[in-house]
Chain A
Amino acid sequence: MHFTQDLELFPNCSVTLLLFKEVQNAAELRKKAMEGLINGALIKPTMIVDAFQVVVATNKAVHLQKLGKLKTRTLYSEIIFNLSPTNNISEAFKKIGISDGDSSVLIVLINEKDINVDRITSQVDGIQIHIDNLQTMADTSTIRKLFKITPQEEKIGTLLDAIVCRLSTKDVC
């Protein structure tokens, strides 16, 4: 059900994505995450169109962490920051990070063995669903507005292509 991707450039580094619906305790989860009690990034699934963009953001975060050049305080907050179209950190948390009223959550874990995955899963008061559901959960009109995707851009590629290109070039554009 969950999705795992190895990062080729970082040996022994793998990313795991967990998706939940009908989440009742989003506020509690967000508080725990802010206090550093959850070793994962908690993201609004409605702002994600595909697991790939999360992997791209994670790869960039791990790369910067190894260089000691994180722009935010932790690896997990960096993933959330990387998923945002702007360089404003608090805006990233507001738009991409989980909010108190959310009924779904996407959790990103790095290098977690199954035992830890279970520990995190048990903290979520919701139903875990297959990662493929991300496509249907995406709020594409809000995403298009936030990322300022042009109509001509979607003629030459997918919405995912447009997003990924922005995420990877954010620092110089």
Chain B
Amino acid sequence: MHKLRNNIMIHPPFDSNSASRRPDGVNGCRYSTGYYLQLIKQGAEARVYRGRFLGKAAIIKERFPKRYRHPTLDDKLTHRRTAQEVRSILRCRKAGISAPVVYFVDYTSNSIFLEEIEDSVTVRDYINSVLCSGENAEKLIDLANCIGQILSKMHNEDVIHGDLTTSNMLLRDSAKTGCQSLVLIDFGLSYISALPEDKGVDLYVLEKAFLSTHPNTEHVFEALLKSYTTSSKKSLPVIKKLNEVRLRGRKRSMVG
């Protein structure tokens, strides 16, 4: 439903399909029926809520309309991102990569209702806690091996995550270790590609994010890449591309 104001199409901020919603202060949003969702994150792209859904603990990711974009483009882009995210999650799960279960997708408000991964910490918080407490870095090498293995599996499925950071990886049941407890989240910028270049860039994004978030962990990331390389036959061209990508950018060699 669009309103026309001065010949510019304006999107209503909330989906008119469900009961009327209004923001509830800074903490959440409340439906006129009393259904309450707690806002846990507001990003540039989406708002993330938590709440109960069909009897389960759920995370709701709502890609709200961006008024700075042209409405037609915004509609298309938002819908596409929502669909890509959901498609990539299913593709990963089919390959045995942990990602949250999708419960429901509302294409009118571009909201995704997902399984909430309870009792989990982000890999970012885990790494920081290990580093801060001065514990044995051995643990981190094990973790790095797991991440490398899982990313290799993901790239083997030709899924490019697009936003690999340690905040987008969760460790379920933080007491347990082992690769089964690693869950990938936030597939909003993901897409399907077989190109080693795209996979190399995916790893480069992670490298940059990893080393800037966790200083002095080069050896950990090295272990991650080693594990990635040994986990799959298709990884060598990717690593080659990664090395090429590293040479690009500001203050880098202009040698071709």
B residues with CB within 8 A of A? 17-19, 31-33, 35, 51-56, 83, 86-87, 89-91, 93-98, 101-106, 108, 113, 115, 180
Contact of B102 among A8, A63, A67, A169 (CB under 8 A): A169
User: With A52-B54, A173-B90 in contact, is A156–B105 under 8 Å at CB?
Assistant: no
Q: How far is the CB of A44 from chain B (nearest CB, A)?
A: 22
Q: Is A95 an interface residue (CB 8 A)?
A: no
List the B residue with the shortest CB-CB distance to A164. Answer: B101
Q: Contact check, A8 vs B86: say whether CB atoms are below 8 A apart.
A: no
Question: Given that A168-B104, A169-B102 are known contacts, is A156 also in contact with B97, CB under 8 Å in the complex?
Answer: yes
A171 and B107 alpha carbons, distance in the complex (Å)? 11
Chain A residues with CB under 8 Å of chain B are 5, 7-11, 52, 55-56, 59-60, 63, 66-67, 150, 152-153, 155-157, 161-162, 164-166, 168-169, 171-173
Contact, CB under 8 Å: B96 / A156: yes
- Between A and B, 12 residue pairs with Cβ closer than 8 Å are A8-B54, A9-B35, A10-B18, A55-B55, A59-B104, A150-B95, A152-B95, A153-B93, A161-B101, A161-B115, A168-B103, A172-B105
Chain B: interface secondary structure?
mixed
The number of A-B residue pairs with CB atoms under 8 Å apart is 92
Residue in A5, A52, A66, A153 with the greatest tally of chain B CB atoms within 10 Å: A153
Q: Which residues of B contact A10 (CB under 8 A)?
A: 18-19
Chain B residues near A152 (CB-CB < 8 A): 94-96
Report the bound CA distance from A11 to B30 in whole Å: 13
B105 touches A150 (CB 8 A): no
Residues of chain A contacted by B89 (CB below 8 angstroms): 165, 169
Query: A4 → chain B, closest Cβ, in Å?
Result: 11
Listed residue (B35, B53, B87, B93) with the most chain A CB atoms within 10 angstroms of its CB: B93
Q: Which of B17, B90, B103 contacts A56 (CB 8 A)?
A: B103
Pair A67/B108 contact, Cβ less than 8 Å: yes
In Å, the complex CA distance between A1 and B42 comes to 42
Q: How far is B163's CA from A3's CA once the two chains are assembled, in angstroms?
A: 41
State whether A172 touches B101 (Cβ < 8 A).
no
Do residues B105 and A168 form an inter-chain contact, with CB atoms below 8 A? yes
From residue A62, how far is it (CB to closest CB) to chain B in Å? 10
